[in-house]
Chain A
Amino acid sequence: MKKNILYIAMAAALGFTACQPEIESPISKGSEIDLTKYVAVGNSLTAGYMDGGVYNEGIEASYPNLIAKQFKLVGGGDFVQAYFPEGQENGSGYFKVTGFDSNGVPIVETETNNLAVTGQTLPGGAAQLTAYSGPLPNNLGIPGIAVANLQDPLYSQGNPYFERLKSGNPTSYIDMVGEAAPTFFTCWMGNNDVLGFVTSGGTSPITDAATFQTNYQALIDKLTENGAKGVIANIPNVTSIPYVYAPNALVAQQAGGSFPVIPLDATTAAQLNGAYQLAGYSDPGFQAGNNYPVIVVDDPATASVIEVRQMDPNQDLLLYHFLNPANPTGHAGEIATGRGWMTDTNSDNIPDTPTPIADRDVLDYAELVEAITAVVTFNTIIQQVADAAGIPVIDTDPYLLQVLSGQGIEGVQVDGTPFSGGFFSIDQVHPTPKGYAIMANIFLRHINKAYNANIPLIDINALNPRGVKFP
């Protein structure tokens, strides 16, 4: 006995018997869901698209990958993602901040090294990306895909993010979902059925409601055909992204606080109206006093007269690509120095060429209303389809509004300010790694609540996923 005590003492001195004390953890997935095979269905947001591209850091930061890691803690299965091979980790390329100008405004450049671009062009003109060679990923997020595309096998050959999964093997998205055979899913689809319209200033179409209904129903039917459970996220309001709400404010900021106006006397106003009409535009309606920049309202290829008017900065929203200096068609700062009415093309200090802001660079008020109406219509369809399938729906817009309010979300201080807000990446549509971690927690909260689970959430402050990367 005493020898034993001595032995224990000696062994303990060498650390052999010093066990780690245990604290029982209450985490559990509960009994209602099977997390053996979690599959994430969606678009760029699901793929981890970030800073205007898909690259390995963004794929790693995707909300489905973060959710899957939490699932693992309660017995969830492996989660495969379509990473780019070593040496091509920058995938499609992406925007990065390389410095700050003298006003402290970030300088944005495009990453062009270590890309996965093959040099080939796909049908429709997109640049092909290196084919993915692993097993079918659990993360089926395809940037750009809309509900309208879900049943079209040929779509898989024109979208570079889809084509790299199914190169030379035309497959509809819904068939690929069937191939994945989830036991549990998240589905965040439908944003692009209206987002393409929004970011193109109303020049790309909104999906018609009947197509949306048919394809969305087919998608949920496929996801649930083997009894899989999951959660569905709906479409946030299009004005909840800085791509749409930020540019007017940025232009005002650059102009010293309020949106720039164009002061004209009566004679000049009349001359300019004449010059516009001579150049094939409608009368922009310049008057004596303060005028606003001119926007193209509608630009059909066949029209003999291009319809223009002065913008109302309270209702007509400039789009971020108009300002983004990394975008070749961007025009940061020019709005205050003449663009929007006349440009001095031959540098003789006399404005001579009418240069209205293009239709694709501005979401005018009518287009904004059209987009918001479409979101409401699509969300109604999503809710009906989900209710019928017994799948809970996450109403996403309130969470984005909470982000924009700057009052903190998921224990993290972020807001909707471009670059420094921490939630939105450089492309001003897609989240940063920190934003995706917030999204993952929102999904996990809904999963826990809907399925009586106690899956641990991500302690975002502890993980410290980055916001926009600064030099």
Chain B
Amino acid sequence: MKKLVLSLLVGASSFAAYAGGFQVVLQGVRQTSMGNVATAVPDAASIFFNPGAVAMLEGNVVSAGVSPIISRISYLENEPYYAEAKTDNPVSLPFYLYAAFGFGPENENGVKRLKAGIGVFTPYGSTVKWEDGWPKQTYLRELSLRAIYIQPTVSFMINDYIGIGAGLDVVLGSINLKRGIADPTTGNFAEVDFTGTAETALGYNVGLFVKSPDGFSFGVNYRSKVMSEVKEGDVTFDLTGTSQTFQQSAQLQNTKFSSSLPLPGVLTVGFAYSNDKLTVATDLRYTQWSAYEQLKFEFQDPVGGATESVSKRKYKDAITVGIGAEYGVTDALKARVGAYYDFTPVPEGYMTAETPDANALGLTAGLGYSLGNLNINAGFLFVNKEKRSQLAATDANTISGTFKTQAYIPSFGVSYNF
């Protein structure tokens, strides 16, 4: 078989948080169309969802996809102000690339028992930009948080029914955050910009896949926590329009910052049933968000007289449950549908302007069409977060008010089997 090299989308991307916290589960168009359910369904995307299932792939595969996130957040300030605001988020573009190749001895069906592959994906990130002049600009104007995972992976078929796999996650990341600072002597706002590139960090991804001869399957996957650390980020002030009196009294000199952000560990278990026409599957995902205890910035030189800023986050571990189905309308055409419910990790009082998180319902649908070895997939995910109000916790450095988030996420992908 000829190896086909696809022209793949690589580059800097950032993402509106749409799963709980700043998790972004958009690592397979087929899986996303099925309620983000994947752990017990072998696919090229198993490199992300369950390396243990990669061994079950019948041949070699390359796969790529992209999911533009169109997200909208509305804000209503608490009484007595009731100011309204909305985000002006740019469309963000999470993507994935997978390639897996068979090696070594074959089983009785001619499937090579050892698979080696690589995945590039973006499971965490956030892009939020509030409209100009929104009432809480001193907390946040915009944030772009990016994390890109590169995961070399091996997977081994122990027998026809059991596969195991593991991958090494090499994690790159960056942050850009902008805030306004009120100048009371002119009525204008200065802006502070935090920009940093994370040190390369490592994690791992392991999985087990088991299936029965009569179409039932089971998967379990664990992706480890990764600490994303910025060591020499830049703190830059834009003081246009502010007075010298303010600049001197507020002590706003450019400096360096360091900070770290946990990308939490995720344990997922899944079940599926499959026959000639139909696949039905369910996943239960447990994300160890309690790793996100606080957000701390340390400054090389004092900023506004302080050498650090600490905002408590106090996230709780949270679960997501999903269910999905795929139906073969014809041999070539597959229809997919699914739903999931995502419990928020964010306690009351700790919602922030960058992550105004709430329990969310995701509704998904999609189509797949097969042209011989080439599969084309398209899907759509609608995320509806519950309207959520809070009084800001005093240690959270955040805002009171009501938030409501919705996201519209079409996705497009191709895969090639050979």
Partner-B contacts on A (CB < 8 A): 2, 5-6, 8-10, 12-13, 15, 17-23, 25-27, 422, 433-434, 445, 448, 454, 456-459, 461-462, 464-471
Q: Which residues of B contact A433 (CB under 8 A)?
A: 187
CB contacts (< 8 Å) of A422 on chain B: these are 184
| B-side contacts of A12, CB under 8 Å | 70, 380, 408-410
Cβ contact within 8 Å between B83 and A23:
no
Q: Quick one: which of B394-418 are within 8 Å of A by CB?
A: 402-406, 408-410
- Show 30 A/B contacts (Cβ-Cβ < 8 Å), sorted by A: A8-B380, A9-B378, A12-B70, A12-B410, A13-B70, A18-B406, A19-B72, A20-B72, A21-B72, A22-B404, A23-B74, A23-B75, A23-B76, A23-B387, A23-B403, A23-B404, A26-B79, A433-B187, A448-B80, A459-B81, A459-B83, A462-B81, A462-B135, A465-B187, A467-B184, A467-B185, A469-B186, A470-B185, A470-B186, A470-B245
Dominant SS among interface residues on chain A: loop
- The chain A residue sitting closest to B385, CB to CB, is A21
| A2-B335, A457-B80, A462-B136 known; A21-B406 Cβ under 8 A | yes
B347-377 near A? 1/0 per residue, CB < 8 Å: 0000000000000000001110000000000
Q: Contacts A18-B70, A21-B73, A467-B184: A462 and B83 contacting too (C-beta < 8 A)? A: yes
Query: A464 and B182: CB pair below 8 A?
Result: yes
Residues in A whose Cβ lies below 8 Å from that of B387: 21, 23
Across the two chains, which residue of chain A brings its CB closest to B384? A21
Residues on A with beta carbons closer than 8 Å to the beta carbon of B73: 21
Residue in A448, A456, A458 whose Cβ sees the most chain B Cβ within 10 Å: A456
Task: State whether the Cβ of B292 lies closer than 8 Å to any Cβ in chain A.
Answer: no
Are B184 and A434 closer than 8 Å at their CB atoms? yes
Residue of B nearest to A445 (CB): B80
A-chain residues with CB within 8 Å of residue B79 when the two chains form the complex = 26, 454
Is the C-beta of B161 less than 8 angstroms from some C-beta in chain A? no
Complex Cα distance, B403 from A23, in Å, reads 8
Q: Which residues of A are found within 8 Å of B409, using beta-carbon distances?
A: 12
Contact pick for A458, options B81, B183, B405, CB 8 Å: B81
The closest CB in chain A to the CB of B246 belongs to A470
Q: B74 touching A21 by the CB < 8 A rule?
A: yes
> Smallest distance from the beta carbon of A11 to chain B beta carbons, Å?
9
Judge whether B379 and A456 touch: CB under 8 Å. Answer: no
Interface residue? B68 (CB, 8 A): yes
Other contacts beyond A5-B365, A470-B245: 15, CB < 8 A: A10-B410, A12-B409, A12-B410, A13-B68, A18-B70, A19-B72, A23-B74, A23-B403, A25-B82, A456-B82, A457-B80, A459-B77, A464-B182, A464-B183, A470-B185
Are B84 and A25 in touch, CB under 8 angstroms? yes
- Give the residues in chain A near B378, CB-CB below 8 Å: 6, 9
Which 8 pairs between the two chains have the least Cβ-Cβ distance? A466-B187, A462-B135, A470-B245, A9-B380, A9-B410, A456-B82, A470-B185, A21-B404
